[in-house]
């Protein structure tokens, strides 16, 4: 007579599963360590002391309404409204459109949306776009009240589902609620082994992102290339396919009448105040109003290619020696976005 087969030991199976997951996490840590070992050494940079508030009477005031501001052909900041100043990055200098690094945009109040495609490109290109970066091929999406991040840690695929909030000092905090490595839940095992994300992900200093225990902290002023956006982030929210940032107190900009216009402009950029240079022209006591001739959709503008838009449009001098410029959207009138 055959003897009954003994039932498997559940405790033994559980221990083997824990060992397997520990091996997987260990391989992740090893891959990250190898990546960081191959990365160039970078000396720690002490944070600069806070700059004193600028004298706004010596600055160019800026206002933007319904502007799709292109950081590059693939990264678009959708500005619903923005009120602020162009602040020269060097003392006794002025903002120069042809040199975006010559000024920062200091925001008083603004609402800016980044769609997930633009946010993914921005992080891959400007935050993790360096040799030895621990994270690559990052793809961002919105799932209800959570931000989903998929990419590779070293060579290992990962998925992180996180909540999003703003810290007291204006940083974006991404708090993971679900972590998967190689498709396997890893957050529970990480907790059992005392492993946190800052043990696994070592990022470059000054790149606009750092890891605080299990949270990612993003600095909006540092992840965007010149001209940098500087301001107090007050609120962040998720909408289908986008992250919306609110700087300063809530505000808005109304449609604006202007010299030579038959109807108030609904999409525009306005600059007024101190000195501003673009091309060979320097305005002392700046008074320039840029109008989108097509109000049907937001004004599509790319600073690094502004001259092409300027040439494709037309302008008119006001009785006060100001300038009204009608500019076509980037991508129209022979302008191209694929370069």
- Same domain? For 205 and 292 the reply is no
- Give the pairing type, strands 287-291 and 323-326: parallel
- CA-CA-CA-CA torsion sign (72, 75, 81, 87): negative
Query: How is residue 293 annotated by DSSP?
Result: S
Both 124 and 227 in a single domain? yes
The model's confidence at residue 46, banded by pLDDT at 50, 70 and 90, is very low
Residues 306 and 222 in one domain: no
Token pair of 50 as six digits: 């806070």
Nearest to 147 by CA among 109, 119, 106, 108: 119
- Positive or negative: CA dihedral 139, 64, 328, 223: negative
Which residues neighbour 120 within 8 Å (Cβ) at sequence distance 6 or greater? 138, 139, 140
Q: Is the residue at 269 inside a domain?
A: yes
Report the percent of the chain where pLDDT is more than 70.
75
Structure tokens at 305: 């290619």
**Domain that includes residue 134, residue range:** 117-247
**Does residue 338 fall inside a structural domain?**
no
Whether 86 is covered by a domain: the verdict is yes
pLDDT surpassing 50 at residue 192: no
pLDDT band with cut points at 50, 70 and 90 for residue 332: confident
d(CA 220, CA 45): 19
Burial of 163 (0-12, 13-18, 19+ CB in 10 A): middle
Q: Which of 224, 247, 270 is the last residue of a domain?
A: 247
Residue 79 and residue 199 in one domain: no
Model pTM? 0.79
Q: Domain count of the chain?
A: 2
Distance (Å, whole) CA 319 – CA 280: 22
CA torsion angle 325 329 330 336 (round to 10): -120
Q: Is residue 184 part of a domain?
A: yes
What is the pLDDT averaged over residues 316-332?
Answer: 94
What is the average pLDDT across 183-190? 66
Do 258 and 209 belong together in one domain?
Answer: no
Between 94 and 129, name the one with better pLDDT: 94
Query: Does residue 159 lie within any of the structural domains?
Result: yes
Show which of 219, 247, 275 is a domain's final residue. Answer: 247
Reduced to 3 states (helix: H, G, I; strand: E, B; else coil), residue 234 is strand
pLDDT tens across 99-120, in order? 999 999 999 999 999 999 999 9
Q: What is the mean pLDDT of residues 287-298?
A: 96
Grouping H, G, I as helix, E, B as strand and the rest as coil, residue 118 is: helix
**Is 20 within the bounds of a domain?**
no
The answer to whether residues 202 and 296 belong to one domain is no
Span 130-152, pLDDT tens digits? 888 888 999 999 999 999 999 99
Pair (187, 151) in one structural domain: yes
User: What pLDDT does 338 receive?
Assistant: 52
């Amino acid at each position: 007579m055959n003897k009954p087969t003994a039932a498997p030991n559940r405790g033994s199976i559980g221990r083997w599963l824990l060992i397997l997951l520990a091996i997987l996490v260990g391989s992740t840590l090893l891959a990250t360590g190898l990546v960081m070992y191959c990365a160039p050494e970078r000396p720690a940079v002490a944070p600069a002391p806070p700059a004193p508030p600028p004298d706004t009477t010596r600055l160019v005031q800026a206002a933007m309404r319904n502007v799709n501001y292109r950081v590059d052909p693939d990264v678009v900041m959708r500005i619903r409204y923005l009120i602020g100043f162009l602040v020269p990055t060097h003392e006794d200098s002025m903002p120069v459109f042809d040199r975006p690094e010559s000024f920062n945009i200091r925001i008083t109040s603004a609402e800016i949306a980044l769609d997930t495609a633009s946010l993914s490109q921005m992080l891959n290109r400007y935050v993790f776009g360096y040799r030895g970066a621990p994270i690559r091929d990052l793809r961002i999406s919105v799932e209800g009240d959570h931000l989903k991040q998929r990419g590779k840690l070293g060579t290992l695929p990962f998925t992180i589902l996180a909540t999003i909030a703003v810290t007291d000092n204006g940083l974006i905090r991404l708090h993971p609620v679900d972590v998967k490595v190689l498709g396997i839940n890893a957050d529970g095992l990480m907790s059992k082994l005392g492993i946190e994300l800052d043990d696994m992900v070592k990022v470059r200093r000054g790149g606009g992102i750092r890891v605080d225990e299990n949270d990612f902290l993003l600095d909006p002023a540092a992840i965007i290339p010149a001209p940098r956006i500087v301001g107090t982030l007050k609120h962040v929210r998720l909408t289908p396919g986008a992250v919306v940032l609110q700087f300063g107190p809530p505000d808005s900009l109304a449609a604006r009448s202007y010299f030579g216009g038959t109807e108030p402009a609904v999409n525009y950029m306005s600059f007024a105040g101190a000195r501003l240079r673009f091309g060979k022209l320097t305005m002392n006591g700046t008074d320039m109003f840029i109008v989108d001739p097509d109000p049907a959709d937001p004004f599509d503008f790319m600073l690094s290619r502004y001259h092409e838009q300027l040439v494709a449009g037309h302008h008119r001098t006001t009785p006060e020696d100001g300038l009204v410029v009608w500019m076509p959207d980037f991508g129209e009138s022979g302008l191209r976005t694929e370069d």
